[in-house]
């Protein structure tokens, strides 16, 4: 099952890149808990369900224009740890933006049920119980 979950995560990031949040939703459990990085976005808070995830992406689009998501690393396990890079342009300034973000993704029945984000790899590994 673990390798299937890794492949699902790869497909989810590819679908996000090609289709935005609508491309991502089929890979998420309808009751997903989407845990934001505190202070990453204005009014950062946790979101629940597909509607909450859509709301998070709407908040992201208020500060970042033309966002791109690049999958950089996957550490197999339960949960899965993912390194990614988000890039785009500041909505008001047009300044190029690039940030590395790390995710801890809990999978069940082929879908993500919990998606937590962190600014450092070490924080993500610790949250996943995979401290190096």
Please tell me the predicted confidence (pLDDT) of residue 1.
52
* 42-83 pLDDT per residue, tens: 566 789 999 999 999 998 888 888 889 999 999 998 899 999
Q: Round the average pLDDT of the chain to a whole number and report it.
A: 91
* 81-126 pLDDT per residue, tens: 999 999 999 989 999 999 999 999 999 999 999 999 999 999 999 9
* Percent of the chain residues topping a pLDDT of 70: 94
Please tell me the predicted confidence (pLDDT) of residue 50.
98
* Percent of the chain residues topping a pLDDT of 90: 75
Domain 2-127 has CATH 3.10.450.50: yes
Contact (CB, 8 A) for 86 and 98: yes
Contact (CB, 8 A) for 45 and 36: yes
Residue 25: pLDDT above 60? Answer: yes
Residues across the chain? 132
Please state the domain extents for the chain. 2-127
Please tell me the predicted confidence (pLDDT) of residue 42.
58
Contact (CB, 8 A) for 79 and 114: yes
Please tell me the predicted confidence (pLDDT) of residue 36.
85
**Cβ-proximal residues to 99 (8 Å cutoff; 6+ apart), any chain:** 85, 86, 87, 119
Please tell me the predicted confidence (pLDDT) of residue 59.
86
First to last CA, the chain: 24
């Amino acid at each position: 099952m673990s390798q299937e979950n890794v492949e699902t995560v790869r497909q989810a990031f590819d679908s996000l890149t090609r289709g935005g949040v609508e491309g991502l939703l089929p890979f998420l459990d309808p009751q997903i808990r989407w845990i934001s990085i505190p202070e990453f976005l204005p009014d950062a808070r946790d979101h629940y369900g597909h509607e909450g995830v859509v709301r998070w992406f709407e908040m992201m689009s208020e500060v970042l224009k033309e966002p791109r998501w690049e999958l950089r690393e996957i550490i197999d396990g339960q949960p899965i740890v993912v390194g990614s890079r988000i890039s785009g342009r500041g909505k008001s300034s047009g300044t190029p933006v690039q940030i590395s973000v790390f995710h801890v993704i809990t999978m069940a029945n082929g879908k993500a049920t919990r998606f937590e984000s962190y600014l450092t790899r070490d924080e993500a590994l610790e949250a996943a119980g995979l401290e190096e």
